[in-house]
Each structure stands twice: as structure tokens, then as C-alpha cells.
Amino acid sequence: MKPNPLTVEDITGSGDGERILRLKGPLLISNLLDFQTMVRTDASSSLVIDLTDVPYIDSAGIGALMGAHLTRQKGASGNLVLVGVNQRIRQTLQLTHVEKFFKFADA
């Protein structure tokens, strides 16, 4: 079986201290290590995770997003926003009762 690739583009945002991580591909247990590392080491005042090109996530992907939320909360390092969340991912976040932990914006 061919692995599902995930690429993470690291972009400096338009706002002061804003960082954008633009993900492309499914967010799965088999490919999320680089994303997790980037989130854990982030020190920006505002982190935007762009999921526009993420078709689906698995439970480990949800865990990675929750890890991003907790890292931001624990270090009081600023704002976290999810952008471009499709209906499939939004429903997954709702079903797992974690949607309430995130701020959402349109792409």
C-alpha cells in the first residue's frame, strides 16, 4: 500500500508574529511527525493551521490538532486558528467532541 503523503508549507503570515502552516494531504498517524514537531517548537503569537487541502484526518490527526491546541494553551503562546476546514473534518471534530476547543476561519 502506498503511503499518503503530507506536506507542510511554513509561511510567514501578514500579521505581526503570525505563522501559517499550510497542510496538503491527509493528516494521518503515518505522516504527522513533521507537523507535530513544527507545532511544538512554534513560538509565534498567532498560529494558523490551513487545512484547505486536507481531505481527511484520522484519530491521530485529531490528536495532533489537540496537541497544537494544548501546546498553545500551556505556554500561553497565543492564538490558534484552523482555516479551510472541510465538512468531513468538521464532522469528525464534532463527533469526537473536540470542535469546541478550536477557532475556525474560512480560507
**Per-residue pLDDT tens over the stretch 71-98:** 888 765 678 999 999 999 999 999 999 9
Residue 1 lies in a domain: no
d(CA 2, CA 41): 29
d(CA 24, CA 57): 11
Residue 48 lies in a domain: yes
Residue 2 lies in a domain: no
Residue 53 lies in a domain: yes
**Per-residue pLDDT tens over the stretch 13-43:** 777 788 999 999 999 999 999 999 999 888 8
What is the reported pLDDT for 62? Answer: 96
CATH, residue 39: 3.30.750.24
Domain carrying residue 77: 7-105
Q: Are 32 and 2 in contact (CB under 8 A)?
A: no
User: Considering its fold, how many domains does the chain have in total?
Assistant: 1
pTM of the model as a whole:
0.90
What is the reported pLDDT for 96? Answer: 95
Residue 15 lies in a domain: yes
One DSSP character per residue, 50-87 reads: EEEE---B-HHHHHHHHHHHHHHHHTT--EEEEES--H
pLDDT greater than 70 at residue 54:
yes
What is the reported pLDDT for 2? Answer: 54
Residue 17 lies in a domain: yes
